Amino acid sequence: MASSHRSSPVPRPGGGGRDGIYRKERDSSSPRSRPPVRSLPDVCPKEPTGEGRGLCDGPSVVAEHDRWTVYSSKVNLPAALNDPRLAKRESDFFTKTWGLDFAETEVMPSFYLPNISREDFGPYLQEMAQRERIHERCKMICPNKDDVDAVSSITSNHEKSRAELEQVPKIFMKPNFALEDPATFNTVLPWSHFNSAGGKSSRDVASSKLLQEKLSHYLDVVEVSIARQISLRSEAFFHAMSSQHELQDQLQETQRAVAILRGRTAAMDRVMCQGPLRALRTALARNNCVKLHNKLKLMAAVHQTQPTVQLLLSTSEFVGALELIATTKEVLQQELQGIHSFRHLGSQLCELEKLIDKMMVEDFSMYARSDLNRSLKDEPQVLEKERLESLVFGLLRQRKLDFLDIYSDEMILAAKAIVTQSVAECVLHIEEIDTEVVTKLADQMRIMTFPQWFEVLKNVFESFLFFLQRIKATLSVIRNVVLEVLDSNQKNRLLEESGSAVSGQEASQTSLVLQGEAELAYLTHEGLFISDALNEQGRAEGAGSDVASGSTETFTSRDQNFMCGENMMPTELEMNRVINNTQELLHTASDVSHDRCVKVLTARAKDGSLERLSSAEFVCLSQAVEGFARDTEELCGRHSVSLRGALQSQANRFVHRFHEERKTKLSLLLDNERWKQAEVPAEFQDLVNSIADGRITLPERKTPGPDDRKPTEFLLINGQKYAVVGTVLLLIRIFLEYCQCVNDIPSIATDMLTRLSDLLKHFNSRSCQLVLGAGALQVVGLKTITTKNLALASRCLQLVVHYIPIIRSHFETKLQPKQFSVLRHFDHITKDYNDHIAEISAKLVAIMDSLFEKVLSKYEVKAPMPSACFRNVCKQMTKMHEAISELLPEEQTQMLFLRINASFKLHLKRQLSRLGVINDGGPQHGLVVVDVAFYTGNVQALKSLERLDLNMAEIWEQKR
Q: Exposed, middle or buried, 860 (CB in 10 Å: 0-12/13-18/19+)?
A: exposed
State the average pLDDT over residues 146-169.
71
Neighbours of 699 (CB within 10 A): 12
Cβ–Cβ under 8 Å, residues 939 and 897: yes
Length of the chain counted residue by residue: 960
Mean pLDDT over 678-691 rounds to 89
Q: Is the pLDDT score of 23 beyond 60?
A: no
Q: How many CA atoms lie within 13 A of 122 on its CB side?
A: 4
| Mutual angle of helices 403-428 and 572-605, in 10-degree steps | 20
What CATH class does 858-956 carry?
mainly alpha
Q: What is the pLDDT of residues 333-355, one digit of tens each?
A: 677 677 777 766 767 677 676 76
* Helical segments of 61-144, H only: 77-81, 86-89, 93-98, 122-141
Integer Cα distance of 935 and 938 in angstroms? 5
> Is residue 329 over pLDDT 60?
yes
For the chain, what percentages of helix, strand and coil (3-state, to nearest 5) are there? 70, 0, 30
Q: What is the pLDDT of residue 29?
A: 40
Greatest alpha-carbon pair distance for the chain in Å reads 205
Is omega for the bond preceding 123 within 30 degrees of 0, making it cis?
Answer: no
Whole-angstrom distance, CA of residue 726 vs CA of residue 722: 12
Break the chain into its structural domains and give their ranges.
346-494+570-614, 637-699+711-844, 858-956
* CA within 13 Å, CB half, 612: 8
Q: Which pLDDT tens digit goes with each residue over 298-327?
A: 777 777 776 777 677 666 666 667 777 777
Question: Which amino acid does the sequence have at 786?
Answer: T
Position 552 pLDDT exceeds 60:
no
What's the rounded mean pLDDT across residues 431-458?
A: 69
CATH match for 637-699+711-844 among 2.40.50.140, 3.30.70.1290, 1.10.357.50, 3.40.190.10: 1.10.357.50
Contact assessment for residue 917 and residue 861, using Cβ atoms and an 8 Å cutoff = yes
Q: Return the pLDDT at 70.
A: 55
By DSSP bridging, strand 715-717 and strand 720-722 are: antiparallel
pLDDT above 60 for 198? no
- Residue 728 confidence (pLDDT) above 90: yes
pLDDT at 800: 94
Distance of CA 396 to the CA centre of its chain: 22
Q: CB of 629 within 8 A of CB of 725?
A: no
The total of other beta-carbon atoms located within 10 Å of residue 47's CB is 10
In whole angstroms, what is the distance from residue 403 CA to residue 831 CA? 65
Look at phi and psi of residue 728 and say left if phi exceeds 0, alpha if psi is from -120 to 50, else beta. alpha
* The pLDDT of residue 37 is above 70: no
**Looking at residues 87-99, what average pLDDT do you find?**
55
Percent of the chain with pLDDT over 70: 72
Give CA–CA dist 757/659, Å, rounded.
11
Q: Work out the mean pLDDT of the chain and round it to a whole number.
A: 76
C-alpha 40/C-alpha 202 separation (Å) is 50
Q: Which amino acid belongs to residue 920? A: D
Q: Residue 525 above 60 pLDDT?
A: no
pLDDT confidence band for 505 (50 / 70 / 90): low
Surface-to-core class of residue 839, CB atoms within 10 Å of its CB (0-12 exposed, 13-18 middle, 19+ buried): middle
Q: Which residues pair with 721 in a beta bridge?
A: 716
- The answer on pLDDT for 410 being more than 80 is yes
Cβ atoms of 325 and 309 within 8 Å: the answer is yes
**Contact predicate 693/806, CB 8 Å:** no
